[in-house]
């Protein structure tokens, strides 16, 4: 059996110290010289605290299909309607007897004004409740604008008719 000249395992110690030295040098390089590792993760910076936040409720004509209104409406839809109508209004994850909003087989009536009335009054005798107490008119218009982007059965209400109706509707 070959005699073990490396009694105190000096080579192991050298290897260990060498790797520790490498780790520290590498650490120093990344932190102080290279200033971090580029991971290319495309992480978007969180909006700065003082960035102007979109305020749906200050929107003067929330029945118009402005991009910000639709985005706000989609968020409100997920919070208030998705439970029954599904995350995308197609009943997936919702309840079977709610309306498939993409197919848009409307029973109460076609168009933004009819839908707004549904949100004001609910549909008697069904699980479709009134949202008059829960959602401000502007929030309801935003949700309806979002529904317009997903439904195949779109509103043909004239903008001026919607505006006239909206000014008297709460
Ligand atoms: C608790 C379940 C439930 C929630 C929550 C709900 N709905 Fe409904 N909704 C229903 C049901 C059920 C119907 C179908 C009623 C019927 O049988 O006619 C319906 C029908 C509708 C209709 C169809 C009206 C028509 O003319 O046919 C619209 C539009 C609608 N809901 C929009 C919404 C919106 C917008 C929200 C969120 C603000 C919402 N619903 C939240 C259950 C729900």
Q: How far, in Å, CA of 87 to CA of 75, rounded? A: 10
pLDDT at 6 over 90: no
Q: How far, in Å, CA of 71 to CA of 50, rounded? A: 21
Quick check: CB of 143 below 6 Å from ligand 1? yes
pLDDT in tens, 136-164: 999 999 999 999 999 999 999 999 999 99
* Ligand 1: centre distance to CA 63 (Å): 19
* Ligand 1: centre distance to CA 100 (Å): 9
Letter string b/e over residues 49-87, b meaning 16 or more CB atoms within 10 A of that residue's CB: eeeeeeebeebeebbebeeebbebbbebbbebbbebbbe
Mean pLDDT, the chain, as a whole number?
92
Residue to mutate, 103, 127, 128, ligand 1, most ligand atoms under 8 Å from C-beta: 128
Q: Which of ligand 1's atoms lies nearest the C-alpha of 115? A: 29
Residue nearest to atom 20 of ligand 1 (CA): 99
CATH number of 61-168: 1.10.760.10
Query: Is 93 in contact with 82 (CB distance < 8 Å)?
Result: yes
> In sequence order, which residues have a C-beta less than 8 Å from that of residue 127 and are 6 or more positions away?
84, 95, 97, 98
Q: Which of ligand 1's atoms lies nearest the C-alpha of 131? A: 38
- For helices 67-80 and 137-150, angle between their N-to-C axes, nearest 10 degrees: 100
- The pLDDT-based confidence of 32 (bands split at 50, 70, 90) is confident
pLDDT in tens, 79-123: 999 999 999 999 999 999 999 999 999 999 999 999 999 999 999
Q: Which of ligand 1's atoms lies nearest the C-alpha of 147? A: 35
Residue nearest to atom 14 of ligand 1 (CA): 98
Residue 3: predicted pLDDT: 62
Quick check: CB of 83 below 6 Å from ligand 1? yes
The structure's pTM equals 0.77
> In sequence order, which residues have a C-beta less than 8 Å from that of residue 65 and are 6 or more positions away?
145, 148, 149
């Amino acid at each position: 059996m070959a005699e073990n000249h490396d009694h105190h395992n000096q080579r192991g110690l050298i290897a260990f110290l060498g790797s520790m030295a490498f780790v520290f040098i590498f650490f120093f390089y990344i932190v102080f010289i290279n200033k971090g590792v580029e991971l290319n993760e495309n992480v978007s910076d969180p909006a700065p605290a003082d960035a102007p936040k979109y305020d749906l409720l200050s929107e003067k004509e929330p029945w118009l299909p402005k991009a910000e209104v639709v985005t706000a409406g989609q968020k409100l839809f997920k919070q208030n309607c998705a439970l029954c109508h599904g995350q995308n209004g197609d009943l997936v994850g919702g309840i079977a007897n709610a309306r498939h909003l993409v197919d848009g087989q409307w029973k109460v009536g076609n168009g933004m004004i009819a839908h707004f009335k549904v949100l004001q009054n609910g549909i008697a005798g069904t699980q479709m409740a009134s949202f008059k107490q829960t959602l401000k008119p502007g929030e309801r218009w935003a949700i309806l604008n979002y529904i317009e982007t997903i439904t195949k059965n779109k509103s043909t209400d004239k903008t001026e008719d919607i505006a006239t109706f909206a000014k008297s509707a709460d």
